[in-house]
Amino acid sequence: MKGFNERGLDKTGIRLIATGDVTEDGMIEAMGDTPLGVVTSHHYSVAHESAQNKAFLKAFADLDNAHRPNFMAVGGWDGMAAIYEVIRRLNGKLDGDKAMEVLKGLKLDSPRGPVTIDPDTRDAIQTIYIRRVQKVNGKLYNIEFEQVPNFKDPTKE
């Protein structure tokens, strides 16, 4: 974003379309207004509208009110939710092979939206959101305006 701005590309009418890490939630406010209007695709935005995300944001703020959570934080949340579900379904009797069977096809109601663990590849099947950086109450956010539900890594098919 810094290079895009320094070269004046934002003033030439060139529109930037990028992956979500370019306007990452934990860093976006440090970029000033440079990313305004940038369109990205990613699997999480701190501005995602859902009850699960609101609960996640509250839990995160209870631990760290100085920073915004990002896609890595929500990944950690989901990882712990998956571990919890394995333990719950196995009644606390952990067994590696049985745990892997529980994980295959596991569905989570994540702060990012629905996530399923692909039973064949063990990758996440999730929604990819198309977002635009906008100001909301004076702060920058990746605001979702389109989505690709049930996105599966095409390189694994």
Task: Tell me the CATH number at 27.
Answer: 3.40.50
Whether 157 is covered by a domain: the verdict is: no
Radius of gyration of the chain (CA): 18
Which residue bears the tokens 């930037």?
Answer: 16
| Within a domain: 156 | no
Q: In this structure, is residue 8 part of a structural domain?
A: yes
Q: Is 49 domain-assigned?
A: yes
Q: What are 62-105's pLDDT values in tens digits?
A: 999 999 999 999 999 999 999 999 999 999 999 999 999 999 99
Answer whether 31's CB lies under 8 Å from 140's CB: yes
- Domain span at residue 79 reads 2-151
How many domains does the chain fold into? 1
Q: How far apart are CA 126 and CA 129, in angstroms?
A: 10
Q: What single-letter amino acid sits at 112?
A: R
Q: Is the pTM of this model over 0.85?
A: yes
* Dist. CA 157–CA 152, nearest whole Å: 8
**Identity of the residue numbered 121:** T
